[in-house]
Structure 1
Amino acid sequence: MGRRIVLLVTSPRLPAGLLTAEAWDLVRTHRVCAAVGNPQAEALRAVGIGVAPAAPVAESLLREASAHATVVWLSGPDGDEALARDLGLRLARNPGLAELELMYGSWDPPGARLLDVVAVMERLVAPGGDPWLSRQASAENEQAHQNFARYLLEEAYEAYDAICAGNMDALREELGDVLLQVVLHAKLGAAPGDEGGFAIDDVAGDLIDKLVRRNPHVFGGVEVKDLDEITANWERIKRSEKARTSLMDGIALSQPALSLAAEVLSKAESADPELARPAAPVAAEQRAAMEAELGDRLFSLVGQARATGLDAEAVLRRVVLDLMDELRHEESAPPRQ
């Protein structure tokens, strides 16, 4: 029988001992070796499988293969790439020594690298990590969330810019920066002694519960006829969750005044169909001209505001906030007889 060396590679992000059936058959049948401290080795020993300690060098495994015909090497968390490369070169020069085989005993599930993101953040904010970040995120800093709030907004804008530019490479990077902010704020929320605190698993768990709850046609067996019914279900469930008393509740007041105005008008139209004015279909060329004209008018208004010492953003925001107050007052007023 020919000599064989099997490099058994497993995911360091899954519990040790969680292997495929093929991998279990392999380690039960053949000689198994691993470096000292390998977590997979400890898991196998716990169920009665012998694992011999060995140095992660090619010569050691070649000796084991010579003595036992087939030897299984439990790769470490980093995959032992240097060992695999060295073995590959040795066997390429002298293929008669042994056959080299790579087997995956487990794989990273989708999203596994998110665990690494959390681990890296833990290291950064811990003592001995990044001094500036750990100081800003310390439990004694009651303004920790506020200190980083503007970065969350900036990164979201940069991701939006990448989307508008159609730059997928930039979008990939900027989404990572947004993710950094999410993980960071979750870490800040888990500060020791923080009453009402939360951790990243709480954030993820709340999101999962929300998505499942608001999509009963996917997770609850509810039958729907079309997209309109799906949207209506989402809004109905959302209203029952939030227990809001006004259509104006839940609107992000910190968003730019122009988008705030658009959202308030949209909410008002949903409550009063008479306010809704369906857009008449227009040709693409006509639409482009209308957009250019509207852009020029808006830009001109901003210029006029600057010339008179006014802040166009603040002026529009004040008008929209006043309108929201009026709408809330109308909602709370007794119905007309």
Structure 2
Amino acid sequence: MGRLSLLVTSPRVAPGLMSRSAWYAVESASARLCRDLTEPVVDAVVESGLSVDAVGEELSPPELARLLVDRSRESDVVWLGSSDADPGLTDAIASEVSRLETPPEVEMVVGSWDVPGSRLLDAVAVMDRLRSPGGCPWDAKQTHESLAKYLTEEAAETVEAIESGDREHLAEELGDVLLQVLFHARVAEDAGDDADRFDIDDVAGGLVAKLVRRHPHVFADGDASSPEEVEEAWARIKAEEKAERSAR
């Protein structure tokens, strides 16, 4: 009796960066099957030198489940999951297996998973879609100046949410503030003048550098053992940075 392994990966992680157990399952299987050979994870497997066969493109979930279970009754089969998560397939496989007296072993193999902050990539992608040709005409015409009032409004509403104690509302308002950050960064990315151009990675990179620079007691050999000492060091470093900018 064989085994059916259902490979699940995160679309936010490079497709070849899979766990050791996932690669072992893929490499040791007698057959590697997928719905679409153009899927990124399939491409990564093929690039590694392994063969993958496309099946079930026109099959319904129950039909595909029957095919996969039948193939795995005699040998180990890996199903390389689609980016849409193959709606209905796992339920159909469970139903198909339940009707057999001696079903194959079925396992879910997690090849990769979202890391903290990975949904920020989705937010960047959505903003890119809105500002790109064929996106939203309102979003496409906005400028730093036209958006300025919304940044002020969203910041004020965030403060109100904090004061209200409603944490669900706070999460929503923080999302609105994040939208303004993404929006302004994308507007800057689209700037015609190179001197005015930056993108969301520049914003994030600048923030990381600032946080590291102003926390020498964490990232270097600085000494600050109390919140008051941290505030004092922050103000001093900030003043030094301002003086350096003025001297340029």
Q: TM-score under structure 1 normalisation?
A: 0.66
Alignment equivalent of 1:77, drawn from 83, 106, 111: 83
Aligned counterparts of 2:84 and 2:101: Cα–Cα separation in 1: 26
Residue equivalent to 1:45: 46
CA deviation vs aligned residue, 1:58-97 (integer Å, no higher than 9, x gap):
12212321342x2111112232232112212222343633
Alignment of 1:174-323 (within 5 A): 174-194=173-193, 195-243=195-243
Residue equivalent to 2:125: 119
Aligned counterparts of 1:93 and 1:170: Cα–Cα separation in 2: 47
Offset of 1:245 from its aligned partner?
10
CA deviation vs aligned residue, 1:128-177 (integer Å, no higher than 9, x gap):
1112222x23xxxxxx1111111111111111111100001111111111
Aligned counterparts of 1:34 and 1:172: Cα–Cα separation in 2: 38
2:67 matches 1:60: yes
Residue equivalent to 1:312: none
Aligned counterparts of 1:240 and 1:197: Cα–Cα separation in 2: 26
Residue equivalent to 1:163: 162
Residue equivalent to 1:14: 13
Letter in 1 for 2:181: V
Residue equivalent to 2:139: 133
Residues 95 and 39 (structure 1), Cα distance of their counterparts in 2 relative to 1, 3 Å cut: farther
Aligned counterparts of 2:109 and 2:47: Cα–Cα separation in 1: 22
Offset of 1:123 from its aligned partner?
0.8
Aligned counterparts of 1:216 and 1:16: Cα–Cα separation in 2: 36
Aligned counterparts of 2:178 and 2:131: Cα–Cα separation in 1: 16
Alignment of 1:318-329 (within 5 A): none
Letter in 2 for 1:222: G
Find the residue that maps to 2:233 and give its secondary structure: helix
Aligned counterparts of 1:48 and 1:187: Cα–Cα separation in 2: 39
Find the residue that maps to 2:73 and give its secondary structure: helix
Residues 178 and 145 (structure 1), Cα distance of their counterparts in 2 relative to 1, 3 Å cut: same
CA deviation vs aligned residue, 1:213-267 (integer Å, no higher than 9, x gap):
1001111132334332222221111111111899xxxxxxxxxxxxxxxxxxxxx
Residues 60 and 133 (structure 1), Cα distance of their counterparts in 2 relative to 1, 3 Å cut: same
Q: Which has the higher contact order (CA 8 A, sep 6+)?
A: 2
Aligned counterparts of 2:156 and 2:215: Cα–Cα separation in 1: 28
Q: Would you say how many aligned residue pairs link Structure 1 and Structure 2?
A: 237
Find the residue that maps to 2:91 and give its secondary structure: helix
Residues 46 and 228 (structure 1), Cα distance of their counterparts in 2 relative to 1, 3 Å cut: same
User: Is this contact kept in 1: 2:154–2:177, CA < 8 A?
Assistant: yes
Find the residue that maps to 1:73 and give its secondary structure: strand
Identity rate of aligned residues, in percent? 43
Aligned counterparts of 2:240 and 2:54: Cα–Cα separation in 1: 60
Q: TM-score under structure 2 normalisation?
A: 0.89
Find the residue that maps to 1:66 and give its secondary structure: coil
> What's the C-alpha RMSD, in Å, of the aligned pairs?
1.9
Find the residue that maps to 1:48 and give its secondary structure: coil
CA deviation vs aligned residue, 1:81-125 (integer Å, no higher than 9, x gap):
321122122223436332321121111110001000011111111
Structure with max Cα Rg: 1
Residues 123 and 96 (structure 1), Cα distance of their counterparts in 2 relative to 1, 3 Å cut: same
Residues 45 and 244 (structure 1), Cα distance of their counterparts in 2 relative to 1, 3 Å cut: closer
Residues 32 and 221 (structure 1), Cα distance of their counterparts in 2 relative to 1, 3 Å cut: farther
Extract unaligned runs of 5+ from structure 1. 138-143, 247-337
Residues 205 and 245 (structure 1), Cα distance of their counterparts in 2 relative to 1, 3 Å cut: closer
2:98 matches 1:99: no
Extract unaligned runs of 5+ from structure 2. 58-63
